[in-house]
């Protein structure tokens, strides 16, 4: 294994090679190349930066740049397309035809790299290729103490496979060189949640039991599985979304204040949250989890087929496209506070949000007060990004009729500076060696340790996912899960 030194994170005068395995794939086209263009447009890429896309397509550079010009432009805000910046960005691009499973092909990659460059290897491939790619990079002598590797989720399909990948990657890259990316941690609002909690005094005294009644985290998608059906059917919503995105959001909501913003100080506190999650028994899984699978319906005004009618989905598939569950954190701060996590495909709308429901009034002197939560903090992550604090206020006029109103923090209007997208922000963190917003190995394995008994419980129960119509908010059982605690999902209030 190549070890890194403190100099790794320091600014370097060396040229930079950003190498994307799967460079013509969906993630590269939709997210990575548009993010790198925006970084280029705003002068955040060093002048000596080159972007090497790797793929099995037998292209030369001209064919690849024509592909980029045709496919990538559509994922960039038209207002950001600049007549001078775009051609200059394309000049940074190179293409190497490479089969990641063939060690001999890596000699071509070595010949394409700049002499003495800092190297970022972004593995935008199936996780099954990660270990082989790292081994081939090492065999070709393409890893040094300044090299970094970026690993996309999901990292493994269970605890054992995650450990195996970590072990093999760790033979060639140190932990300080390994960036396990979760793009939700690059969202401005998620990073602002740290400031909301630890940069202000107003919430922290109340950020605990018994002042918080419940926490709910939703990541809802209105789209179906689409072209990802082959991958998705072997993965499901729990592995694809909850094990990483939702648990990482929960960590930021529930963590204790770190002693500093040092990467390990922050990640130490997140790890404590994951290790404090109450393990689920089979009985817990039966009572506190809801699996769903979408059927035909209407989505965004159009007819939508059911999961079984999607291309490349087996007709008898029991893969869940929806999961909701109730979790508990076994520590003093969160004792007896139910945590509700929910994610799904083909839901009513695209929405990611965190809702902190504060405790009910112990007694009200207002007889006409509405029967709903009095105070809620709603943190919207997408499609728009804002923070709302719901409070009760008196309606104008005689009498004492109360109505909920919201104090709004609109982050887009509060700051005039451009807001970088998550992938752009995280890619720039990688180039600068900033690890704070990336998962450490022990975090990943702690998440899998908690999720795996849920997967095993579903297998033992041998129940099919509950059907829900495309364009709905999931199976009715997910609402009943909340109702048992006297709560409701945000859209039901």
Q: Number of helices and strands (H, E) in the chain? A: 17, 17
- Evaluate whether 373 touches 490 at the Cβ level (below 8 Å): no
Encoded tokens for 311: 């291309």
Structure tokens at 143: 């890893």
Task: Pull the structure tokens for residue 283.
Answer: 């009985």
Q: Dump strand ranges (E) for 115-183.
A: 118-123, 148-151, 178-180
Q: CB neighbours (10 Å) of residue 330?
A: 11
Neighbours of 376 (CB within 10 A): 21
- CB 290 within 8 Å of CB 324: yes
| CA separation for the pair 136, 348 (Å, rounded) | 45
Distance CA 308, CA 244 (A): 25
What is the CB-side half-sphere exposure of residue 152 using CA atoms within 13 A? 19
- Give the Cα separation of 461 and 157 in Å (integer): 20
Contact 102, 130 (CB under 8 A): no
Instruction: Give yes or no for a contact between 410 and 380, defined as CB atoms under 8 angstroms apart.
Output: no
The pair of three-digit structure tokens given for residue 474, joined into one six-digit string: 């999931």
CB contact at 8 A, 311 and 229: yes
State the DSSP H helix or E strand holding residue 423, giving kind and residue range, or none if neither: helix 422-431
Please pick, among 40, 172, 245, 328, the residue that the annotation labels catalytic: 245
How many Å is the maximal CA-CA distance in the chain? Answer: 83
Q: Where are the alpha helices (DSSP H) in 223-281?
A: 229-232, 236-237, 247-254, 263-276
The candidate with the shortest Cα–Cα distance to 402, out of 376, 358, 364, is 364
DSSP state at residue 197: H
Residue 172 is a catalytic residue: no
- Compute how many other C-beta atoms are within 10 angstroms of the C-beta atom of residue 271: 20
Lookup: tokens for 138: 């090492």
Burial of 297: CB neighbours in 10 Å, binned 0-12, 13-18, 19+ = middle
Where does 205-257 have alpha helices with state H? 229-232, 236-237, 247-254
**What is the helix, strand, coil percentage profile of the chain, to 5?**
40, 20, 40
Q: Would you call 2 exposed, middle or buried from its count of C-beta atoms within 10 A (0-12, 13-18, 19+)?
A: middle
Give the residue numbers annotated as catalytic, written as ranges: 245
């Amino acid at each position: 294994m190549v070890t890194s030194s403190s100099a790794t994170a320091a600014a370097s005068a060396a040229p930079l090679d950003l190498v994307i395995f799967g460079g013509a794939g969906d993630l590269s086209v939709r997210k990575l190349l548009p993010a790198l263009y925006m970084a280029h447009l705003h002068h955040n890429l060093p002048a000596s930066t080159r972007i090497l896309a790797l793929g099995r397509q037998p292209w030369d550079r001209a064919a690849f740049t024509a592909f980029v010009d045709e496919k990538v432009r559509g994922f960039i805000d038209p207002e950001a397309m600049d007549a001078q910046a775009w051609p200059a960005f394309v000049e940074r691009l190179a293409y190497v035809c490479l089969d990641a499973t063939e060690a001999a092909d890596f000699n071509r990659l070595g010949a394409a790299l700049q002499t003495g460059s800092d190297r970022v290897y972004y593995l935008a491939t199936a996780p099954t290729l990660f270990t082989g790619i790292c081994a081939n990079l090492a065999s070709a002598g393409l890893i040094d103490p300044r090299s970094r590797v970026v690993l996309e989720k999901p990292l493994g399909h269970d605890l054992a496979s995650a450990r195996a990948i970590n072990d093999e990657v760790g033979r060639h890259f140190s932990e300080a060189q390994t960036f396990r990316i979760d793009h939700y941690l690059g969202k401005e609002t998620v990073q602002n949640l740290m400031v909301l909690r630890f940069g202000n005094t107003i919430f922290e005294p109340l950020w605990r039991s018994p002042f918080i009644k419940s926490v709910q985290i939703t990541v809802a998608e209105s789209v179906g599985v689409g072209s990802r059906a082959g991958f998705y059917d072997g993965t499901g919503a729990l592995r694809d979304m909850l094990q990483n995105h939702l648990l990482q959001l929960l960590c930021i909501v529930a963590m204790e204040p770190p002693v500093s913003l040092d990467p390990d100080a922050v990640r130490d506190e997140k790890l404590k949250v994951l290790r404090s999650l109450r393990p689920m028994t089979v009985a817990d899984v039966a009572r506190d989890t809801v699996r769903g699978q979408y059927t035909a319906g209407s989505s965004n005004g159009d007819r939508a087929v059911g999961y079984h009618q999607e291309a490349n989905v087996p007709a008898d598939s029991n893969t869940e496209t929806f999961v909701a569950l109730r979790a508990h954190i076994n520590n003093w701060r969160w004792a007896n506070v139910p945590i509700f996590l929910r994610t799904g495909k083909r839901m009513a709308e695209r929405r990611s949000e965190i809702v902190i429901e504060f405790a009910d009034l112990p007694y009200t002197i207002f007889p006409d007060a509405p029967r709903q939560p009095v105070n809620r903090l709603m943190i919207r992550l997408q499609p728009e990004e804002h923070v709302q604090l719901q409070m009760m206020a008196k309606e104008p006029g005689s009498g004492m009729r109360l109505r909920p109103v919201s104090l709004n923090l609109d982050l887009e209007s509060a700051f005039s500076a451009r807001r970088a997208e998550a992938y752009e922000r995280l890619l720039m963190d990688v180039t600068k060696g900033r690890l704070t917003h990336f998962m450490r190995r022990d975090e990943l394995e702690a998440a899998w340790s908690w999720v795996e008994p849920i997967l095993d419980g579903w297998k033992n129960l041998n129940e099919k996912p509950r059907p829900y119509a495309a364009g709905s908010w999931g199976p009715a059982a997910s609402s009943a899960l909340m109702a048992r605690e006297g709560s409701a999902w945000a859209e039901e209030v």
